Chains A and B, each alone.
Chain A
Amino acid sequence: MQKFFSNKKLIILMILIIVTFGLLAITVNIRDKKNTPPVVQQVGNDVVSVVGGVFAYPTNAVKNATSEFSDLYNTYSENKRLKERIGELAQNQAKLEVVQDENKKLKQELKLNSTLTDYSTVNASVLSRSPSSWQNYLTINRGTTSGIKKNMPVMSGKGLIGRIVEADKISSKVELISTNNELNDKFAAEIIGNNKNITGVVSRYDSDTGDLVMENVNSTKDIKKGQSVITSGLGGLTPRGLYIGKVYGIKKDNYGMTNSVYITPAAELRNFTVVTVIKSSVHGEE
């Protein structure tokens, strides 16, 4: 026995390996199964994020300024194009208001309190992005005190960018939709067609083309390039009607058995400093 434990370095190595795998396994399990990490980790992350804000605000200001500068280049042609759309937009807005109003009244009539399309929002600014290849996280400066929960969808100005993967007290982490990860969460989506909506699941991200891939599509007959894709609100905390992107094309898999629809994401995953967290009014399981 004396001899067995005599090599101090070996024992240190052994303990080190046990501790490493223990810590990793525990934290991965907590992340996947629990709604919030342990309090110590929450407080730690919050403190780090508060101090990080000091550095993040000037960076975001610079980021905004540079994107404004690049916007300035295309202003003239864009302005011309947009002027044509303005009249159309005002019309649509008026129509939307009337329809929304009607919708509200009809819901009251039917005694529907909230449906899959109802949601409220929380705005948050981005503090940093993880320097990691496989944990594609953004840290934002709102947390459970603002009502943020795990798995809530997150949008930027134009479309869906990801979902909350960890909610601390006053900060949280957003996993980007562009994460090419076997275990990442999937979005139930639907393609808006002329007469029939086609449902499926946005399940992975093709990093070669920068497209999202929608699988489990029931029929590809009526899908055309350029059709809009929105979340379908089936399952979980995602409401219906969040804009994901446009259909880019359809590919068959190697065996010709299933079809995958490639979607160009609407969200410019580059030039934004503020994100919107969507709180669905209908609570699903969890």
Chain B
Amino acid sequence: MTIKNRKIFGQVLFILIAFYLDGLMKWAFLNNMNRGTVIILPQLMLMAIVMLTMRIEDRRQLIIYGVVFGVIYDSYYYGIIGLYTVLLPLLMVGIDHFRFLLIKNNMGYDLSIYFLALTFLQSGIYLLEKLLQQTSTDALDFITFTLGPTLLWNILVFFLLYVPLAKLSEWLVKYRRDK
């Protein structure tokens, strides 16, 4: 296996672990089923995706990642295909498109991009589900009880995990070309 393939394998593994952690986090720690109106959605896969998107230059690879992991996410967690499947690649291409605005990767940039990405994704999902009548929540309730807490929790986790995540994704993307 060439180094490039090995790195790609590593990237896929990285995203997959984050994918499973999303469901397990929700199940083990944020499992407010009986009581409470506040809904926190862990979005660790989005963290991995954003960190990698900020560092991978190849747009085709980004779109493939987005579609593949979007389909898996939709099918396994939502049971409806078309939410992450469309929003995730769109988001990754968006980040890639506005990369020229970013001078270098640092925590501030990564954090704000993640913030925007999360807002875009959750709002997009809300709008699509509302259109398809999968939810009856009104917009204000969505912002107060879902989007707000979700942003707060995820930003906090992102902040805490930033250094290892950044090191790891840097290592997973950068390599010297082998002969």
A residues adjacent to B (C-beta < 8 A): 16, 19-25, 27-28, 31, 37, 41, 44-45, 48-49, 51-52, 55-56, 59, 62-63, 126-139, 165-166, 173, 176, 178, 180-183, 207-208, 210, 265, 268-270
Contact = CB atoms under 8 A, between A and B. Distances in A.
A133 B130 CA distance: 12
Given A129-B27, A133-B41, A270-B34, A19 B86 contact: yes
B79 interface: yes
Main secondary structure of the interface of B (DSSP, over half): helix
B27 A265 contact: no
B23 A182 contact: no
Given A44-B75, A131-B42, A133-B146, A139 B129 contact: no
A62 B142 CA distance: 32
B35 interface: yes
A85 B120 CA distance: 55
B35 A210 contact: yes
B132 A25 contact: yes
- Going nearest first, the 3 A-B pairs with the smallest beta carbon separation are A128-B23, A269-B33, A23-B82
Contact of A181 (B39, B86, B125, B135): B135
B79 A165 contact: yes
A154 to B, nearest CB: 13
Interface of B: 16-17, 20-28, 31-37, 39, 41-43, 71-72, 75-83, 85-86, 90, 125-126, 128-129, 132-137, 142, 146
A44 B72 contact: yes
A138 B28 CA distance: 12
Contact of B39 (A37, A133, A137, A173): A133
Given A20-B86, A23-B85, A128-B26, A135 B77 contact: yes
A55 B20 contact: yes
Given A20-B86, A130-B77, A165-B79, A62 B27 contact: no
A20 B128 CA distance: 9
A24 to B, nearest CB: 4
B135 A134 contact: yes
B82 A126 contact: no
Most-contacted residue by chain B among A59, A129, A137, A138 (CB, 10 A): A129
A27 B81 contact: yes
B133 A183 contact: yes
B78 to A, nearest CB: 5
Most-contacted residue by chain A among B34, B37, B125 (CB, 10 A): B34
Contacts of B82: 19-24, 27
A190 to B, nearest CB: 23
Contacts of B142: 133
A69 to B, nearest CB: 14
Given A44-B75, A135-B77, A207 B33 contact: no
Nearest to A137: B79
B86 A269 contact: no
A44 to B, nearest CB: 6
Contacts of B43: 131
A178 B31 CA distance: 12
A163 to B, nearest CB: 14
